[in-house]
Structure 1
Amino acid sequence: MPSITRRRAPNPGRRNSAEAEILAATQRLLIDGANFTELGIQQISAEAGVARSTFYAHFRDKTELLLRLAATMRETSFAIASAWEPTAGLDSLTEAFLGVVGVYREHAAVLRAVAEVATYDAIVRDFWSEGLTRFTDRTIEVLREDQKAGRTPADVDLVGATRVIVIGGERAIFDQATAGDPSGDAAFARELALIWWYGAYRRPADPR
């Protein structure tokens, strides 16, 4: 007689829920001051209310977990920054930077963990560098188009100027979001926008 026992169908919602709980639990622990390097998988699983085996069903290891946390923040901030076009003007650039600072501040604990792990883990370091490379390429492209249109001076070294404003700007945003006073975010975003705008996009032409 054939068995009438039925295998339970996979529940994607339950799987996604467990994954979200693990991500949220890790972020809570980091916000509460946990050091990511010392944070154990058992501790993360307990905080999330799942079994240790459930953790491994979703993440290969802690590095993958950290990259998933950081990816959300990186993609959100990239989308905000890359949506800006020079024709939108200085005030719009200020708003874009304020939005990026907000995203960084919301994920400050994850940022600190990324900075911590990147000092000894090449995978995390390369992941973060890849994000900066994407934005560097995007900025060079936008500056080049602006230069062709005659709005950005022809004597601006696109690669050199972009490395200065992107790498320097990202480190400044990191510092503001992780150590600066939130009440100063708007003024910070304005200063950063002014530096980008008059340092590259609308730099006065060399009079020589």
Structure 2
Amino acid sequence: MASITRRRAPKVSRPVSAEDEILAATRRILTGGASFTDLGVQQISVEAGVARSTFYAHFRDKTDLLLRLATDMLATSFDVASAWEPTDGLDKLAEDFLRILGVYREHAAVLRAVGEVATYDLTVRDFWSQGLAQFTDRTIAALRAEQAAGRTPADVNLVSAARVIVQGGERAIFDQVTTAPPTDDAAFARELAQTWWYGVYRRPA
């Protein structure tokens, strides 16, 4: 855990905003193993080299800060996921899942913090659920188009199937990133892609 006894030396290599400093400082502290629940605004401010008043000029509270960090992670992973089309095929889906795993690993400390805080904070829990909903909606739209084209069986329940693979996939990715080594990611991404592909998109009629 980063020390709170002295301020960090100001950075002179490139200009950054106080808000960016606060976000980066929080990532550093969390990556060092700190619990977000136990992390104080004073510690974050010292690590970022800003006053407490500056923190509150940019963020309402710690929850607001965490949501900003998580928003960046979700937006990046959604950009990757939404670029895939079923016509791209299974191999491309596996490649994209591997890229998403990379995003989650890069933000693993934030992912753990979200999981930690969501157990007791309704705002964070609802935020994460709404974030997953956009993945679910995107999947439903893709499956609906595939059914219309005759490539996905008509008896697939779009809403239920999308919820199963999106929410189940998110839990599996969380577990992979937080408990398994990166060397296992390629095999994991392939298995996840095959589950989606053969379990729903190309399920036998």
Global fold match (TM > 0.5): yes
Q: Hey, what does 2:100 align to over in structure 1?
A: 100
Q: Deviations over 1:56-101 (max 9, x none)?
A: 1111100000000010000000110111000000000001100111
User: Counterpart of 1:72?
Assistant: 72
Matching residue of 2:200: 200
Deviations 1:99-143 (A, max 9, x none): 111000110100010011111111111110001111101100100
Q: Secondary structure at the match of 1:172?
A: helix
Which protein shows a greater Rg?
Answer: 1
Q: What displacement does 1:177 show?
A: 1.1
Q: Which sections of structure 2, spanning at least 5 residues, go unmatched?
A: 1-13
* Structure 1 Cα separation of the partners of residues 57 and 65 of structure 2: 12
Distance in 1, matches of 2:130 and 2:91, equals: 28
Residues 158-204 of structure 1, C-alpha deviations (whole Å, 9 max, x = no match): 11111110000010011111111100000000000000000000000
- Measure how far apart 1:155 and its partner are: 1.2
Structure 2 letter corresponding to 1:144: R
State the one-letter code of the partner of 2:111: L
CA RMSD, Structure 1 to Structure 2 (Å): 1.1
Q: What residue in structure 2 maps to residue 9 of structure 1?
A: none
Find the counterpart in structure 1 of residue 136 from structure 2.
136
1:8-19 aligned at under 5 Å gives the runs 17-19=17-19
Q: Which amino acid aligns with 2:38?
A: E
Instruction: Name the counterpart of 1:114.
Output: 114
Aligned partner letter, 1:137: D
Kindly provide the amino acid, as one letter, of the partner of residue 22 in structure 1: I
Q: Is 2:95 the partner of 1:56?
A: no
Mapped partners of 2:187, 2:71: distance in 1: 27
The DSSP-based 3-state class of the residue aligned with 1:38 is: coil
Looking at structure 2, the residues matched to 160 and 22 of structure 1 have their Cα atoms a distance apart, in angstroms, of 40
Task: Tell me which amino acid in the other structure corresponds to 2:71.
Answer: A
Matched residue, 1:81: 81
Q: TM-score, normalised by structure 1?
A: 0.90
**Unmatched tracts of structure 1, length 5 or more:** 1-12
SS of residue matched to 2:17: helix
Match for 2:150: what amino acid? G
Please, what TM-score do these two structures have when normalized by structure 2? Answer: 0.92
Other-structure match for 1:38 = 38
1:127 maps to amino acid: F
Amino acid at match of 1:185: D
The structure 1 segments of at least 4 consecutive aligned residues displaced by more than 2 Å after TM superposition are: none
Q: How does 1:173-192 map to 2 (within 5 A)?
A: 173-192=173-192
